[in-house]
Structure 1
Amino acid sequence: MRDAIIAAGLLAMAGLSGASLAETPKAPLTVEQRLQRVEDELAIRRIIVDYAATQDARDYAAYANLFATDGEWANGKAVHKGRAAIRQLLINLYGTPPAGFVNNENYHLTSNIQIDIDGDRATAHSRHLLIWRGPNGEPVPALAGRYEDEFIRENGEWKIRRRVDYPVMPTAEEWMKVVRARQAAQ
């Protein structure tokens, strides 16, 4: 009896109940299900990496194609819906790159990627860092933030359904001042 009381007390401290211990465990995933999950996660990770790479390469078409047909990119009150609007966002931000463009001025890093998959939908959380070339050619961190993403399988391929960009350092308001100043200097 004493052992049962101690066990019940330990379970209560751990936030468990005897009923939760008796629940039927979920059936283990089959090898095929596990393989599909790994393939899905790798495909989503690739999109997250390609997002930074296509932006840095100023490959606006490839960047926009990472989004679902009605995909959204959001930052604060700014929301761009659909591939054409998302492509235009980049043109407005960077201008049209010259033929043979090679970006030696900045690049994006994405890290701390966490992906949760539920069938043909997924969510992801990650961090981003923009590095600029400094006045003496040194790398200078310019913008750090986080992404909150929703993905969807569209026509058999994973696509970004919605990406919300949350600038952290500097804030969104501070960052827009930097962007406007750089655009005015060009």
Structure 2
Amino acid sequence: MKSVIGVFTFVLFSTLTFAQKMDNRNIEQRLAAIEDRMAIKYVVDEFSNLADTKEIDKQVLLFTADGVVVSVSNGQSAAPLKGREQLKQAFSGFLSNFHTVYHQNGQQTIDLQGNKAQATSYCRVILVGKQDGKEVKTTLYTIYKDSFVKENGKWLIKHRTSNFVHREVAEVPVN
């Protein structure tokens, strides 16, 4: 009986919560918003895929021409990278330290504001490379705070703050 009441309460709460989020937009507007959210998610996922394959030339095209990236580690911000050329140099230089790069994207929230959007995306980045002659795996737990703009029908990252909230480093045993 308690489980039935619990399920009923959950369904009722979920329905009320969903009803509160509904708006008066027509189906075309709601569909357009879903398409925009999917396109933004695609940009975030494609950024990760291109990092994994080290296709930096393609990766930087996911940013506006004047795009900015700020990296935060241990609460300290690095100097901002501005423009595709600086991004390309920094991304290439960093990834050249690793033979294996692997991103796992997780939850994401997107706040659409017309042709602009704010997004928060969680990602685990696994990097494997040689350090001091040893094989080392570095795992970065990252939160991306992105500002997007829609230019010529395409969503691009205008500003990204990459907050590396935790880092784990471990030697990889050799088989």
Give the TM-score, by structure 1 length.
0.67
**Structure-2 separation of matches of 1:125 and 1:94:** 23
Distance in 2 separating the partners of 1:104 and 1:85: 22
Are 1:113 and 2:108 an aligned pair?
A: yes
Partner of 1:147: 144
Contact 1:152–1:158 (8 Å) recurs in 2: yes
> What's 2:40 paired with?
44
Residue type at the aligned position of 2:92: I
Number of the residue aligned with 1:156: 153
**Residues 132/89 of structure 1: CA separation in 2 closer, same or farther (3 Å cut):** closer
Residue in structure 1 matching 2:27, options 28, 31, 35: 31
Identity of aligned residues (%): 29
The answer on whether the counterparts of 1:129 and 1:141 sit within 8 Å (CA) in structure 2 is no
Alpha-carbon shift at residue 78 of structure 1 (Å): 2.3
* Counterpart secondary structure, 1:162: strand
CA-CA distance at 1:148 after TM superposition: 0.5
Q: Give the aligned partner of residue 125 of structure 1.
A: 120
Distance 1:79 1:57 in 2: 24
Indicate if the aligned counterparts of 2:99 and 2:129 stay in contact, CA closer than 8 A: no
Aligned length in residues? 138
Q: 1:131 Cα shift? A: 2.0
Unaligned runs of 5+ in 1: 1-25, 97-102, 179-186
Once superposed, what is the RMSD of the aligned Cα atoms? 2.6
Unaligned stretches of 5+ residues in structure 2:
1-21, 72-76, 131-136, 170-175
Post-superposition offset of 1:144: 0.6
Q: Does 1:67 align with 2:68?
A: no
SS across alignment from 1:29: coil
Per the alignment, residue 93 of structure 2 pairs with: 92
- RCO higher in structure (CA 8 A, sep ≥6): 2
Structure 1 Cα separation of the partners of residues 93 and 118 of structure 2: 28
Contact 2:52-2:100 within 8 A present in 1 as well? no
